[in-house]
């Protein structure tokens, strides 16, 4: 079974631009979560989508948004890029995060975004 794929793997943008990152979850997985990873802040949760609905959201500004399609593929968008948005953006999928089951999240390789 194919793993979680993320495109593109690397991206260079300039301040003020916007960017869209894509994530294809493992087949059959309905939940997709996004994380930002930086050396200073570590792993920070952005948001989670389940069945095309945003189910949870972290503490990021409204410039960060996402969506999920009917095939569970997800995209995240960052508008008006800032230098501090430079990071590794990780996507993780799971069958369906449930409060009673400690399901495993499967991570993609990430998209490394550099904002100049």
* Contact positions with other proteins (CB under 8 A) in 60-89: none
C-alpha dist (Å) from residue 116 to 11, 14, 21, 82, 110: 11, 5, 17, 8, 19
Residue pair 44/95 in contact by the 8 Å Cβ criterion: no
Give the number of residues in contact with other proteins, rule: CB under 8 A: 21
56 binds other proteins (CB under 8 A): yes
Q: Give the SS3 label for residue 84.
A: helix
109 binds other proteins (CB under 8 A): yes
Hey, what's the torsion of the CAs at 55, 92, 15, 40, to 10 degrees?
A: 100
Pick one of 81, 97, 113, 115: the residue that binds other proteins (CB under 8 A): 97
Nearer to other proteins, 56 or 80 (CB): 56
Residues that bind other proteins (CB under 8 A): 4, 33, 42-43, 45, 48, 56, 58, 90, 92, 97-99, 102, 104-110
């Amino acid at each position: 079974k194919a793993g979680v794929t993320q495109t593109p793997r690397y991206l260079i943008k300039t301040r003020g631009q916007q960017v869209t990152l894509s994530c294809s979850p493992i087949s059959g997985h309905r939940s997709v979560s996004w994380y930002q990873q930086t050396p200073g802040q570590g792993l920070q949760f952005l948001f989670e989508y389940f069945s095309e609905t945003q189910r949870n959201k972290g503490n990021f500004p409204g410039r960060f948004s996402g969506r999920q399609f009917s095939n569970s593929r997800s995209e995240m968008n960052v508008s008006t890029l800032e230098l501090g948005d430079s990071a590794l953006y990780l996507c993780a999928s799971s069958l369906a995060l449930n409060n009673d089951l400690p399901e495993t999240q499967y991570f993609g390789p990430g998209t490394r975004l550099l904002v100049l």
